[in-house]
Structure 1
Amino acid sequence: MDPASRPAPAVTAELATVAAREHGLPAGLLDGYLDALVAVARTGRRLRDAEEAACRRLGGEAAAGGVALPRLVDLYMTASRLLWPCLPELITTGGGGRTADLVAVGEAVWRAADTAVAALAEGHVDAQRQVVRREEAFRREFVEDLLTGRSEVGPLVERAERFGLSLAAAHTVVVAVTDRPVDSGMPTTGCIEDDVRTRLGPRGLLVAVRDGRLVLVLSSAPGRPPGAGAGAEGEVLAAVAGPAAARLTRRTAWRAGVGRPHTGPRGVLRSYREAVDALTVAAQLDLPQRVVHAPDMLVYRVLLRDEEAIADLVGTVLGPLTTARGGAEPLLRTLECYFASGRNSAETARRLHLSVRAVTYRLARLHELTGHRPGDPAAELPLLVAVTGARLLDWPGRPLPVM
């Protein structure tokens, strides 16, 4: 190649082709770059705004075409290296620029190359961010439609395939919470998905955040009927989701609700609601378990289904406790611990940090006010159901609903 005998645009076009071929990339990704360097070498000026904008555009096009940023920068450096030995002749033929002062020329050219590559990288990163934002928006919309049942089933099934979910299969949903909401902007997917797949093998898996809770949706194992081994799988999911929620929120206490496996898109929604309901009931009852399964909470859901009846029972059986000194809460808490400890007064005293004598006094006072003796088998069922209903209705902290 003899640059002195050819127009500068022809030389730069050929150099761009050579550099692009060396890296296996389109020569169009260098569009205008080498011509801009020649102009800079001739005049000593900096890159113009339009030239920087062109580099940003090319960086975005490269990102859209799947070209990694290091590979793109390498292409530009190769093109710059190929151009450098040709610059003296190109400058001379282009209008008599000073070729003796190679230091000044070099400073101008490499300053322009640095500016161009920075603009190129900015455009590449911006394009990647836009892709991520679009994907996040698509993911949020899909999760919202899946967990609310707002979308039609057909389109929902098609969209699920993009996340590796076959909604014809059965799915188990686990929801994990701490006392601080999980932020949807927190990094939630990568390490959690890897952990689940390490323990349970390759399955359809969706990790998402909704209403401040961490949500995991797992496809059942192929060939396994719904419910078979679901308890063990739910425990594994909860063991991953709970600590993950704790790490994300920087809290130590966590709880996970496990829904039952159900098939179809509406099955995912049903399992999700079961998991959320299990968490709600466990919080109302202040249960000690970190992992609560939906089937274990069914009896409490039955109680809440007839709120009028349970409120009537609480008011009738435990209402008189409000006349005690200190209110109903100390006696209610004592009765709750008494049942939880297997009707053992000594264990109740230990849990409440009281003396056995104080516990005995409280139980006697409770009998006096309600007419039900805690140790009497005949009184056990109404007292136990009433205590449970009180916690579900947050009584005596809140007034009983008036029907």
Structure 2
Amino acid sequence: MTAPTTLTADPRHRLEELNRRYAVELRFSEVSAAGGGISGLVAAIADLTANPVWLIDPQRRVVSRSMHARGSDFRPPAVDELLAHYGPVDLAGAQPILVPAQPALGVVRRHLLMPVRRDDCLFAWLVMAEVSGRFGRDETALVNRAGFHLASEYAVQRRVARASWNARATLARQLVRGHSRDDDIADAADYLGVQADADRVLVYIGDSPGVAAHDEEVLASQVATDLGVEVLATRGREGMILLIEAPDSEVPVAFVHHVKRAMRRLLASVGQPDTTVGVSGVTRPAGLQRAYRETREVVLCVDRFARTTERVIAVDDLGPARLFVANGDLGAVRRYVQDVVGALLDGGPGTSDLLRTLQCFFDTGRSVRESAARLGIHENTVRLRMAKVHDLTGLDVASDANDQLSAQTALLVLRLEGHPAIPAFDERHAFVVGADRGKDSA
């Protein structure tokens, strides 16, 4: 049943009870006015009762608790178990709930449960256990008013957090647009505790039915926790933008790889692994506007051509050819691929080896030696294969810059489409990261 909070009928007792309730109300008001916050209110409740109290959030984590009341060393009460023993609960009334002791069911003492809520939002449960003093009107009234003041404090903190988040989102937009005064951006960043001149990786998450419905604040918080860095977030025209601060201690190429893996984990956790994501390189503030355009081009490329599960791709994975692939006519792009490397796509003997060698040649910066080491073949074999490519396609990728660009563009489309002879983007990335680390250690 719901615990009563009415006053006694006896005039003298009623006056005493009113004075006690006034003192309780005054104490809570003083704590709130002094900025004591949620923990301060719980401490005030603990001072006003001999019984232990806990504040437990909807995820059943203890937010705060009494520290000195006898019995406060008890394990936190199981809210779900108490509510189950009580029966159906109507939260609309927001009144204390008295759960009777039921030793046979494992509830060895009475509890008062107060939903801390405002409008349709349940912030927490305030729970008091009957340990050192029997429940009466005073205890019930205390829990009732405590619940009201706690709900007010939660509502204020939610508004402050929302205002802070809106300010951070505005700062993110200003950094990406790049047309605000530098001193204005610096002042806003200082106020928010954000380093305005930090290098960042820009992540563009294309809209999808599942991800678009998620709060940017929640996703940004998850990425920040995963990577252990500052993350700003805002909305773009057709998706979400994350600005992820790059640590000075990280090799840029390696950090981009970490960001890609973090984004895959994030999308898997929200049940949207097929969402398309473009990831920039580590970028100075002045380059974020360009990084935004480039990551949107990545998303367009993936959405138009990708037939594999690889949906989180970096700008550097695609290179400058992404501009043509993202914006060219679909039919024209496919005909272009056929015109350039069609002779290697007929499934003839050795053509898969030629394609893979050609891709490896570009992935290693057109190095015959590194290509041979990566493929596990002799350097002369690489040269012979490149000569065979020249014979079949007319492409002189060893010395002609135009042929190099043509081949790289065609290979990019094949890679997006998941051609079995072309290694996945992350396979190339692992090689580049390893090479970069080798240079640092040399």
Q: TM-score, normalised by structure 2?
A: 0.47
Q: Deviations over 1:136-160 (max 9, x none)?
A: 2222222222223353221212322
Q: Deviations over 1:77-109 (max 9, x none)?
A: 379xxxxxxxxxxxxxxxxxxxxxxxxxx8443
Q: Which one of 283, 293, 299 corresponds to residue 314 of structure 2?
A: 293
Structure 2 Cα separation of the partners of residues 246 and 333 of structure 1: 35
| Residue 240 (structure 1) shift | 0.3
| Residue 290 (structure 1) shift | 3.3
| Residue 195 (structure 1) shift | 1.9
Residue of structure 2 in register with 1:377 after alignment: 393
Residue of structure 2 in register with 1:237 after alignment: 259
Structure 1 contact 63–128 (Cα < 8 Å) conserved: no
Larger relative contact order (CA 8 Å, sep ≥ 6): 1
Q: Write 1 or 2 for the structure with the bigger share of helix.
A: 1
1:72 maps onto 2:54 in alignment = no
| Residue 389 (structure 1) shift | 12
Structure 1 contact 256–279 (Cα < 8 Å) conserved: yes
Structure 1 Cα separation of the partners of residues 196 and 160 of structure 2: 26
Structure 1 Cα separation of the partners of residues 161 and 317 of structure 2: 40
Residue of structure 2 in register with 1:262 after alignment: 283
| Residue 185 (structure 1) shift | 5.7
Q: Which one of 177, 200, 224 corresponds to residue 171 of structure 1?
A: 200
Judging changes above 3 Å, is the alpha-carbon distance between structure 1 residues 389 and 303 closer, same or farther for their aligned structure 2 residues?
farther
Residue of structure 1 in register with 2:294 after alignment: 274
Structure 2 Cα separation of the partners of residues 291 and 336 of structure 1: 26
| Residue 340 (structure 1) shift | 8.7
Structure 1 contact 64–127 (Cα < 8 Å) conserved: no
Residue of structure 1 in register with 2:167 after alignment: 138
| Residue 65 (structure 1) shift | 5.7
| Residue 221 (structure 1) shift | 1.0
Residue of structure 2 in register with 1:93 after alignment: none
| Residue 130 (structure 1) shift | 2.0
SS of the residue 1:114 aligns to = helix
Report the AA paired with residue 293 of structure 1.
Answer: A
Structure 1 Cα separation of the partners of residues 311 and 12 of structure 2: 67
SS of the residue 1:217 aligns to = strand
User: Which segments of 5 or more consecutive residues in structure 2 lack a partner in the other structure?
Assistant: 1-10, 52-134, 350-390, 397-402, 415-442
| Residue 235 (structure 1) shift | 0.9
Q: Deviations over 1:196-218 (max 9, x none)?
A: 13xxxxx5x21425244362422
Larger Rg: 1
1:194 maps onto 2:225 in alignment = yes
Report the AA paired with residue 345 of structure 1.
Answer: G
Q: Which one of 235, 251, 256 corresponds to residue 272 of structure 2?
A: 251
Q: Which one of 127, 132, 147 corresponds to residue 118 of structure 1?
A: 147
| Residue 186 (structure 1) shift | 6.1
User: Which segments of 5 or more consecutive residues in structure 1 lack a partner in the other structure?
Assistant: 1-38, 80-105, 198-202, 319-331, 348-374, 392-403
1:155 maps onto 2:184 in alignment = yes
Report the AA paired with residue 377 of structure 1.
Answer: T
Counterparts of 1:1-400 in structure 2, within 5 Å, are 41-43=13-15, 58=30, 60-61=32-33, 63=35, 67-77=39-49, 107-162=136-191, 165-177=194-206, 179=208, 180-182=210-212, 183-184=214-215, 187-197=218-228, 205-211=230-236, 212-213=239-240, 215-221=242-248, 229-248=251-270, 250-264=271-285, 266-286=286-306, 288=308, 289-303=310-324, 339=341, 342-345=344-347, 377=393
RMSD: 5.0
SS of the residue 1:208 aligns to = strand
Q: Deviations over 1:111-150 (max 9, x none)?
A: 4323322222222222222222222222222222222335
Report the AA paired with residue 194 of structure 1.
Answer: T
Judging changes above 3 Å, is the alpha-carbon distance between structure 1 residues 145 and 60 closer, same or farther for their aligned structure 2 residues?
farther
SS of the residue 2:175 aligns to = helix
Identity of aligned residues (%): 14
Q: Deviations over 1:26-81 (max 9, x none)?
A: xxxxxxxxxxxxx994348879x9999878755643556675442232244379xx
Report the AA paired with residue 151 of structure 1.
Answer: S
Q: Deviations over 1:331-351 (max 9, x none)?
A: x5997699599424379xxxx
Report the AA paired with residue 259 of structure 1.
Answer: S
Judging changes above 3 Å, is the alpha-carbon distance between structure 1 residues 140 and 72 closer, same or farther for their aligned structure 2 residues?
farther
